[in-house]
């Protein structure tokens, strides 16, 4: 399908579809936040890439602290897009499809609902393993990352359903940044273009198909 369309966007409410067609996208200004243990291999690679990959209108917070003050300050300065990198943590008793309940921090578990309470943004991207699905057997009591996003956030959303190798994640995100910042694409368009490029470069579908775009 990605070879046939310009963008793929999921909606919970058709009103959001109409609104999105009538809304112009503001210039993207990004704050990246990495959660986790700095010495962990995947987190190290993400940090190294962000620190070396300097981009206009992008600030990267790579100290891996659990504190959200620096993120909040950047959003108050005008950043309208938050991208969170980290390892999703699933409850031992939960079903595999339910996905992560929280994000692993340096010293504690990070709840997405707490992150979203601290910032005022228009766009949210969560790059985390064990994403799961937005549904569960008991959605009314679900506390997973999907539920937290849809309860607490209105705007453009990108998030993962499953784990992707770190190097493929970096390659995919590099294309998404370029599409958003330089080519001024809409979120759904930026994602599909990046996925198409990954597919055409010979990458396995598991490396790129798990990221979805939603408007809530």
CATH architecture of 10-215: 3-Layer(aba) Sandwich (3.40)
Which of 17-31, 40-54, 89-103, 109-123 bottoms out in mean pLDDT, i.e. has the lowest? Answer: 89-103
The strand order across the sheet containing 156-160 reads: 10-11, 211-215, 156-160, 123-128, 81-86, 30-34, 58-61
Predicted pLDDT of residue 7: 83
| pTM of this structure | 0.88
CB 188 within 8 A of CB 158: no
Predicted pLDDT of residue 6: 85
Predicted pLDDT of residue 173: 96
Predicted pLDDT of residue 63: 95
At 109, which helix (H) or strand (E)?
strand 109-110
- pLDDT range class, residue 210, cuts 50, 70, 90: confident
- pLDDT range class, residue 111, cuts 50, 70, 90: confident
* Residue 197, Cβ density class (10 Å: 0-12 exposed, 13-18 middle, ≥19 buried): middle
Distance spanning both ends of the chain, measured CA to CA: 23
Give the tokens for residue 102: 């929280």
Residue that has been written with the tokens 């046939």 in this structure: 4
């Amino acid at each position: 399908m990605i070879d046939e369309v310009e963008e793929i966007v999921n909606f919970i409410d058709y009103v959001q579809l109409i609104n999105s067609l009538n809304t112009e996208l503001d210039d993207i200004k990004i704050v990246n936040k990495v959660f986790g243990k700095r010495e962990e291999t995947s987190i190290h690679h993400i940090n190294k890439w962000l620190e070396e990959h300097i981009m206009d209108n992008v600030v990267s917070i790579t100290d891996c602290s659990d504190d959200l003050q620096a993120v909040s300050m950047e959003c108050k300065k005008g950043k309208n897009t938050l991208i969170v990198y980290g390892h999703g943590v699933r409850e031992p008793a939960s079903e595999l499809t339910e996905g992560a309940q929280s994000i692993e921090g340096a010293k504690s578990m990070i709840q997405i609902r707490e992150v979203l309470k601290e910032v005022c943004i228009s766009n949210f991207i969560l790059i985390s393993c064990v994403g799961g699905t937005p549904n569960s057997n008991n959605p009314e009591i679900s506390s997973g990352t999907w539920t937290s996003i849809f309860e607490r956030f209105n705007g453009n959303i990108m998030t993962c359903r499953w784990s992707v190798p770190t190097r493929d994640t970096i390659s995919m995100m590099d294309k998404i940044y370029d599409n958003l910042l330089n080519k001024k694409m809409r979120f759904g368009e930026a994602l599909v273009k990046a996925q198409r490029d990954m597919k055409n470069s010979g990458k396995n579908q598991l490396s790129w198909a798990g990221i979805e775009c939603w408007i809530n």
